[in-house]
Structure 1
């Protein structure tokens, strides 16, 4: 009992500097609740550790690290600057913004047939697939094993001869191949590989110095572990097998980053494409990406790359507004952003037990709910359900 009291007081003490003198008892309890949720996830073996970061357009509101880099008994502790495998966050932090940058510049059209950039698809039943369909996961394409594909060209050629089970634009089917092709689209249009294009157009201007594909040896020393199929651990090598097969740079996975860098990106989005005096996208593009572009009843609402409401929206708590958007990654990472609440919340973890999907989704939802309860300051802005049509 005494030990538990000491731990609670220690958590309160650690929390005070972040929230300042304005913190009241309720805020402190909620802050400790985040600590408790992460601690419970570690104690149950769900994760080895992680970082929770919460902020708004003005800066950091909450940044705490928990646990260790791996399940090893002597593993170093996770720090606030630990580097994590972002998995499918690559789609919205590298690929989608790069494609939309090319759209801004008039070099790509959202409704361009994919065959303009992929002549390999001509006459293969894919003539009606558009760039838009890839961004919204409505192309009809489905994932497949890259076995035997040693290059991106091999992946493209194998895709060309696969059937399309659904008519493009009719059905939402989340598939990595959509963003793998978009990553290749960036290369074919810009002349630069996706990693270089995203680095020069986003990460360098935004000061995201720890955000990279294929991290350097120096960054690898700070990487949290990921677990692969044979139960071995990776540090700084992408977990996704198809991304590894492509050399670590792909449109669906491969990016690594820290919480501080992701906070900068989130603040850029809350700032309408601008952060610290550097504009990397127009406000119109940010709104277009994060507004509904495809809907299927009340079950699925997707932006251009971003998730708004779908079976993958576990970090979207009921306190967030209908203007909120985000994404998740298989490695355990997620971010959710609410322009109307001027709030973002992110979780980066070293995931240990990949079988407990329900428990992990519950953790994401719990952290988001606590963050919204703790920091949200709702505005009177109108819900943007129809904004996508307004700004096309």
Structure 2
């Protein structure tokens, strides 16, 4: 019998780079397209490895690990419970739900003037700036590098003193400073740091046992590496410069966690804020933060914290509905959730190539599109996901 060379290569790739955990509806043949896309990304040097989880509000359809934890020669094989630097996923997994939880409790309002929480902003031409403008990145604030000396005060004073880039609420301009302020707002409203509040109110009740800022020593051996701009490997230390200046706890970045924990978080949102019989967020809060709060000609649609449609929406793929939402992380992660399809896809990677954004976004899109094709209810996705990466 003659075996095609391409078939042999494909089999070797699967053996070398892929491990999986059995899930309730797992079908090994069903995931072959996804395996091929992930392993191709490894061979092309986009990533060293990664984890993909696809599920619904009640079950996990697929849970799979690929490759290794870094580019180091002695790097470990990737496992499905690997801990990753979640980067900007911090914004929607820690900060946004914390703010919405506080709003539920009446401890702040989405229409509070920012000056109410930051007197430093008073008298500086920002009286129209509201909490919701920070959540939707429509504040007009711009990012800047933080000083190592009192970086939090520098963040607040720097934001208060800068000239806004346009009228408040008129333009979407993605900026980490919005969420640095929101993280500090949680502290000013509760007396607890963001990591303490999110841990108590969001992570523990949702069963996210491996999600935290500043992973402790017992978890460092399970942390996937990231790379600095000078190609230095970081393990268990936040990649983002400003988050490092802020001590590893910030509203825009700094969170670490597993794909399994993000799957639990996604299931909680799909289950209208409930997990294991406990209401983590009210159904109203879930709908609030995932509703379209800002729209600019249909090209940019943002929820509170969450992305719905924008230049950052690569993980939306081709098979997700208009009511879906998600977010990305610079370190190589993405999360997309579709209540209409009862579907979510988590992609976390040990990213190697930070320059080729187009190729990396194509990977995100391809993984999500395949997740929708393989496990979504919409028949039209079958014909939309046939193109190669």
Q: Deviations over 1:263-303 (max 9, x none)?
A: 10000000000011121110011011111000001110000
Q: What's the CA shift for 1:219?
A: 1.0
Q: How does 1:203-214 map to 2 (within 5 A)?
A: 203-214=203-214
Alignment partner of 1:364: what SS?
helix
Q: CA RMSD in A?
A: 1.9
1:259 matches 2:259: yes
Q: Is 1:81–1:259's contact at 8 Å kept on the other side of the alignment? A: yes
1:3 and 2:14 aligned: no
Question: Residue in 1 aligned with 2:218?
Answer: 218
CA contact (8 A) 1:340 1:378 kept: no
SS in 2 for 1:58: coil
Secondary structure, in 3 states, of the residue corresponding to 2:54? Answer: strand
2: distance between equivalents of 1:169 and 1:20? 45
How many residue pairs get matched?
A: 373
Secondary structure at the counterpart of residue 80 of structure 2: coil
> In the alignment, which residue of structure 1 is the partner of 2:202?
202
What is the aligned partner in structure 1 of residue 280 from structure 2? 280
Return the alpha-carbon distance in structure 2 between the equivalents of residues 362 and 296 of structure 1.
24
Deviation digits for residues 73-127 of structure 1, max 9, x if unmatched?
A: 1211110111000000000000000001111111111111100010000011111
Mapped to 2, the partners of 1:214 and 1:131 lie a distance apart of: 27
The answer for the alignment partner of 1:177 in structure 2 is 177
| Match status 1:312 vs 2:290 | no
User: What secondary structure does 2:345 align onto?
Assistant: strand
Q: Which residue of structure 1 aligns with residue 326 of structure 2?
A: 326
Any idea what SS the aligned residue of 2:349 has? strand
**SS at 1:315's partner residue?**
helix
Rate the CA distance shift 1:289–1:74 in 2: closer, same or farther, 3 A: same
Provide the secondary structure at the position in 1 that maps to 2:50.
strand
Could you tell me which residue of structure 2 aligns to residue 133 of structure 1? 133
Q: Which runs of 5+ in 1 are unaligned?
A: 380-392
User: What SS does the corresponding residue of 1:167 show, helix, strand or coil?
Assistant: coil
The 10-residue stretch of structure 1 (2-11 or 257-266) with the greater mean CA deviation from structure 2: 2-11
Q: Is the 8 A contact 2:20 2:63 kept in 1?
A: no
What residue is the counterpart of 1:163 in the other structure? 163
Higher mean displacement: 1-10 or 160-169: 1-10
Aligned twin of 1:74: 74
Other-structure match for 1:118: 118
Helix, strand or coil: the match of 2:31?
helix
1:154 Cα deviation (Å)?
2.6
Say whether residues 1:45 and 2:45 are aligned partners.
yes
- Over residues 104-152 of structure 1, what are the superposed CA-to-partner deviations in whole Å (9 max), with x where a residue is unaligned? 1111111111000100000111111000100000000000111354331
**Structure 1 residues 210 and 123, CA, compared in 2 at 3 Å: closer, same or farther?**
same
Cα 1:311–1:221 change in 2 (3 A) is same
Counterpart-to-counterpart distance in 2, 1:369 and 1:48: 21
Take 1:212 and 1:290, find their aligned partners in 2: how far apart are those partners?
A: 23
Question: Judging changes above 3 Å, is the alpha-carbon distance between structure 1 residues 161 and 279 closer, same or farther for their aligned structure 2 residues?
Answer: same
Question: 1:315–1:334: 8 Å Cα contact kept in structure 2?
Answer: yes
Separation in structure 1 between the aligned mates of residue 173 and residue 11 of structure 2, nearest angstrom: 49
